Structure 1
Amino acid sequence: MAVAIAVTRERREGEPRTAATPDTVKKLTALGASVLVEAGAGLGSSIPDADYEAAGARIAKDSSAVLSKADILLKVRGPTAQEISALKPGAIVVALLDAYREKDTVQAMAKANVTAFAMEFVPRISRAQVMDALSSQANLAGYRAVIEAAHTYGRAFPMMMTAAGTVAPAKVFVMGAGVAGCQAIATARRLGAVVSATDVRPAAKEQVESLGAKFVAVEDEEFKAAETAGGYAKQMSAEYQAKQAALTATHITKQDVVITTALIPGRPAPRLISAAHVASMKPGSVLVDLAVEAGGNVEGSKPGEVVKTANGASIVGWSNLPGRIAADASALYAKNLLAFVGLLVKDEALALDLEDEILKAAVVTHGGAVVHEGVKG
């Protein structure tokens, strides 16, 4: 009997993305799976039900009917309590679970004897690159952050020389040169801004400069050792943070736009910009906080809001920036999931090998228990 893969409509507020596209449906069926899609699952990404049907999926109006038959449930965000209760014991869930914060969802899946994989835990190794959902979504978030900044800024980004005078280019400062930050740098440069950037990882300097931006950082001994084996930024000491804050304070007063992207897995986002920093900025300046859902890099940022400050600056705290480019975000994420499902389905049957290094790193619940060391507590 074919492996049944289900895709339901996303029920988390403000989530327009979907976990499958007609293209990935075709490839999932080629693996020998049957694909069931809840009606309306793709509408937020401009995918009508008819396109899924044409690709080989079956459309179901009732989500519980889809879930009860599912061997594998593919989601963007973690399933709701109602969805978990409708799954059969032993079913597999693959999603961006936000497992460090969504503890209730994780516990509910363990209690329901569901095997859950968190796409955010896919290791950063060569064979898993095609499954790296964090990177695929961060890329779009970095791009969209600049678009949102330009919209809110209300002035031109590039230098413009006209008969009536010259428009000066915008000065954009990007804090954090990971995937999102590098895309923000590249996008701001393409729009003609003068760009500078900072990061605590030494390797970021070359990346920033290769994109045509100026690198700004306190380059001391701690800076030289500020990267984990997995390529993430380490938590910096209070002393380093103070020195970096002083450098930031002098640099930020000259900027028109600041984009912050700093996240540390499993911890609140580091506070990079204080209220005093914000107050030092020019009227009309813009700050975009990509870490707003994890506590925020910018003091005063609020999820889902644009905060106007007393000095005339704007702090943009839109949640789910990839969701603001839902069609592209869904297409990339669905391909990440397709590659991951290839580890779960072999010879047209489920083949769950938890000794596989990717599956072992990504599994959160299995056999009625929470099994991921970082999430257990």
Structure 2
Amino acid sequence: MSMAVIAVTRERRAGETRVAATPETVKKLIAAGFSVTVEAGAGTAASYVDSEYQAAGATLANDLKGALATADILFKVRAPADDEIAALKTGAIVVALLNPHQDRATLDALAARGATAFAMEFVPRITRAQVMDALSSQANLAGYRAVIEGAEAYGKAMPMMMTAAGTVAAAKVFVMGVGVAGLQAIATARRLGAVVTATDVRPATKEQVESLGAKFLAVEDEEFKNAQTAGGYAKEMSQEYQAKQAELVASHIAKQDIVITTALIPGRPAPRLVSAAHVASMKPGSVIVDLAVEQGGNVEGVKLGEVAETANGVKILGRPNLPGRIAADASALYARNLLAFSGLLLNKEGQLAPDFEDEILKAALVTQGGKVVHPQLAS
């Protein structure tokens, strides 16, 4: 039997700069027994040029049709566009960040095409799958970039500086939501010299926040002590708890220079953490960076793709796809996630034969046999 062919095509979704394979992972995919075809220009926006892919052993295809004509597997960052789905071989495997809860139309189109599609968002958070956890690899960079974006928009210095002309006070940074993105935001803001506080509804995060040299802020009652799912995600809190937490946050947020919000609940709109009243209480020149803007936002008044400036001089940054603003590193990490995932698609003889009973493949599978099959999505 011939080697399974992986295609990597140019990202067609607006504003997407990342790519699903790098020359490094192409080399490793070929060593693992795959053949790799890369569409010309696929990595250009992430600073990976065609000649590097060729040097790594990939076949370069001049256009989409050429890239997908023989492809058994399509690796993508974002979900494939309509022209890509139309060009797929029947029964091809698609692996991507499919945005499954919000982009049902693409899932239906993939099912209609007969594609077997895996959503990287659904890779389970188990030890064996850590190396495939694309949400974490990208959130890590988003947290870093959020601080850089916030510092750039903030009109003052981040660290305390003692000079002959006087002292510059350190910026106060408040991180709301302490998942992977939040922890990296805390670490980055601390490295830049800011005074950092953070809040989260999951009690396990308190120790992590303090270990990074930041101060933890939360209403620590009984509900707070039980506020985490078995999968490590935040639970939605009661109205009573939210009111108590809001009161604590309201007094704190008014004193902050930069606020970074990172709270997401899988399959649900982003929870509202920062109200218009909170924003109105902040000082002129303060900055809010909303990492949840693509799921509706944590901040009242945030606008997708824009910097909203309020009447009292607060900037609310609604920039989507922060990992895409560090495309080379984001692509390198995501490509390694896919490289690890690809090992599950081959049998011991190196032939394309996914074991659909494998717990990782089972959790990530969204379309198969002409249907949307994932239990959270099947209708």
TM-score, with structure 1 as normaliser: 0.99
Describe the superposition over 1:284-337 as per-residue Cα deviations: whole angstroms up to 9, x where unpaired.
Answer: 000000000000000001111110000000000100000000000000000000
Q: In the alignment, residue 365 of structure 1 is paired with which amino acid?
A: T
- The equivalent of 2:357 in structure 1 is 355
Moved more, 347-356 or 164-173: 347-356
Q: Residue 226 of structure 1 contacts residue 236 of structure 1 at CA under 8 Å; is this kept in 2?
A: yes
- The equivalent of 2:144 in structure 1 is 143
Give the deviation of 1:352 after TM superposition: 1.2
Describe the superposition over 1:17-45 as per-residue Cα deviations: whole angstroms up to 9, x where unpaired.
Answer: 00000000001001111100000000011
Return the alpha-carbon distance in structure 2 between the equivalents of residues 84 and 139 of structure 1. 30
- The equivalent of 2:366 in structure 1 is 364
Q: Residue 306 of structure 1 contacts residue 316 of structure 1 at CA under 8 Å; is this kept in 2?
A: yes
Return the alpha-carbon distance in structure 2 between the equivalents of residues 32 and 221 of structure 1. 53
Return the alpha-carbon distance in structure 1 between the equivalents of residues 246 and 297 of structure 2. 16
- Between the two proteins, what is the percent identity of the paired residues? 73
- The equivalent of 1:115 in structure 2 is 116
- The equivalent of 2:74 in structure 1 is 73
Give the deviation of 1:116 after TM superposition: 0.3
Q: In the alignment, residue 366 of structure 1 is paired with which amino acid?
A: Q
Q: CA RMSD in A?
A: 0.6
- The equivalent of 2:375 in structure 1 is 373
- The equivalent of 2:55 in structure 1 is 54
Return the alpha-carbon distance in structure 2 between the equivalents of residues 282 and 61 of structure 1. 53
Return the alpha-carbon distance in structure 1 between the equivalents of residues 22 and 360 of structure 2. 23
- The equivalent of 2:318 in structure 1 is 317
Count of residues in Structure 1 that have an aligned counterpart in Structure 2:
377
Return the alpha-carbon distance in structure 2 between the equivalents of residues 88 and 311 of structure 1. 55
Q: In the alignment, residue 186 of structure 1 is paired with which amino acid?
A: A
Q: In the alignment, residue 10 of structure 2 is paired with which amino acid?
A: R
Give the deviation of 1:376 after TM superposition: 2.0
- The equivalent of 2:156 in structure 1 is 155
Show structure 2 runs of 5+ residues with no match: none
- The equivalent of 1:9 in structure 2 is 10
Give the deviation of 1:86 after TM superposition: 0.8
Describe the superposition over 1:349-377 as per-residue Cα deviations: whole angstroms up to 9, x where unpaired.
Answer: 10111100000000000111100011124
- The equivalent of 1:64 in structure 2 is 65
Query: What does 1:89-108 align with in structure 2 at a 5 Å threshold?
Result: 89-108=90-109
Return the alpha-carbon distance in structure 1 between the equivalents of residues 205 and 242 of structure 2. 17
Return the alpha-carbon distance in structure 2 between the equivalents of residues 208 and 39 of structure 1. 44
SS in 2 for 1:222: helix
Q: In the alignment, residue 35 of structure 2 is paired with which amino acid?
A: S
Q: Residue 99 of structure 1 contacts residue 106 of structure 1 at CA under 8 Å; is this kept in 2?
A: yes
Return the alpha-carbon distance in structure 2 between the equivalents of residues 313 and 265 of structure 1. 29
Query: What does 1:215-294 align with in structure 2 at a 5 Å threshold?
Result: 215-294=216-295
Q: Residue 31 of structure 1 contacts residue 345 of structure 1 at CA under 8 Å; is this kept in 2?
A: no
Return the alpha-carbon distance in structure 1 between the equivalents of residues 355 and 186 of structure 2. 40
1:167 aligned onto 2:175: no
SS in 1 for 2:377: helix
Return the alpha-carbon distance in structure 1 between the equivalents of residues 356 and 377 of structure 2. 17
Q: In the alignment, residue 348 of structure 1 is paired with which amino acid?
A: G
Give the deviation of 1:259 after TM superposition: 0.1
Give the deviation of 1:64 after TM superposition: 1.2
Q: In the alignment, residue 95 of structure 1 is paired with which amino acid?
A: A
Q: Residue 20 of structure 1 contacts residue 330 of structure 1 at CA under 8 Å; is this kept in 2?
A: yes
Give the deviation of 1:221 after TM superposition: 0.7
TM-score, with structure 2 as normaliser: 0.99
Q: In the alignment, residue 300 of structure 1 is paired with which amino acid?
A: G
- The equivalent of 2:21 in structure 1 is 20
Return the alpha-carbon distance in structure 2 between the equivalents of residues 145 and 50 of structure 1. 33
Describe the superposition over 1:81-137 as per-residue Cα deviations: whole angstroms up to 9, x where unpaired.
Answer: 111111111100000000000100000001111000000100000000000000000
Describe the superposition over 1:139-161 as per-residue Cα deviations: whole angstroms up to 9, x where unpaired.
Answer: 00000000000000021000000
Describe the superposition over 1:33-63 as per-residue Cα deviations: whole angstroms up to 9, x where unpaired.
Answer: 1100000000011001000000000000111
- The equivalent of 1:201 in structure 2 is 202
Give the deviation of 1:68 after TM superposition: 2.2
Q: In the alignment, residue 373 of structure 1 is paired with which amino acid?
A: P
Give the deviation of 1:348 after TM superposition: 2.7
Q: Residue 109 of structure 1 contacts residue 116 of structure 1 at CA under 8 Å; is this kept in 2?
A: yes
Q: In the alignment, residue 79 of structure 2 is paired with which amino acid?
A: G
Q: In the alignment, residue 351 of structure 2 is paired with which amino acid?
A: A
SS in 2 for 1:230: coil
Return the alpha-carbon distance in structure 2 between the equivalents of residues 64 and 374 of structure 1. 33
Return the alpha-carbon distance in structure 2 between the equivalents of residues 198 and 336 of structure 1. 29
Return the alpha-carbon distance in structure 1 between the equivalents of residues 256 and 63 of structure 2. 52
